[in-house]
């Protein structure tokens, strides 16, 4: 995660969406000024992807936390329509999670509490 801070310090725009339960472990990164939005639903936000400079996407089972010991996979795509689809998904999620009372469930249903 310190890599995100380094990238931000180089002037790169970095934004993250995480599960609300991960908030405590992200404090050092949040302190660096990286904007976060959190899923506060009862469901696990299980999207794991990174859009890099609108030129590549990584996706797969890989957990970005350290030391999980799992067997993981990562796919890297440089295909334009794949990148655009992930960018659109991220922007949709970024907007949806902008409300503090919003919960986003696995069926992409808007749930307000």
Instruction: List active site positions.
Output: 46, 48, 53
With beta carbons less than 8 A apart as the criterion, state whether 47 and 75 touch: no
- Calculate the dihedral angle through the C-alpha atoms of 16, 41, 43, 98, rounding to the nearest 10 degrees: -30
Query: Within 1-113, where are the H helices?
Result: 2-9, 27-31, 80-96
| Residue located via tokens 């660096």 | 32
How many Å separate Cα 77 from the centre of its chain?
17
């Amino acid at each position: 995660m310190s890599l995100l801070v380094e990238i931000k310090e180089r002037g790169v725009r970095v934004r993250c969406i995480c599960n609300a339960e991960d908030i405590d472990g992200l404090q050092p990164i949040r302190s660096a000024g990286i904007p976060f939005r959190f899923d506060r639903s009862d469901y696990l936000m299980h999207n794991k992807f990174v859009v890099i400079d609108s030129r590549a996407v990584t996706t797969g089972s890989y957990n970005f936390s350290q030391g999980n010991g799992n067997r993981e996979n990562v796919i890297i795509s440089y295909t334009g329509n794949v990148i655009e689809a992930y960018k659109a998904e991220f922007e949709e999620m970024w907007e949806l999670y902008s409300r503090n009372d919003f919960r986003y469930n696995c069926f992409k249903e808007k749930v307000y509490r």
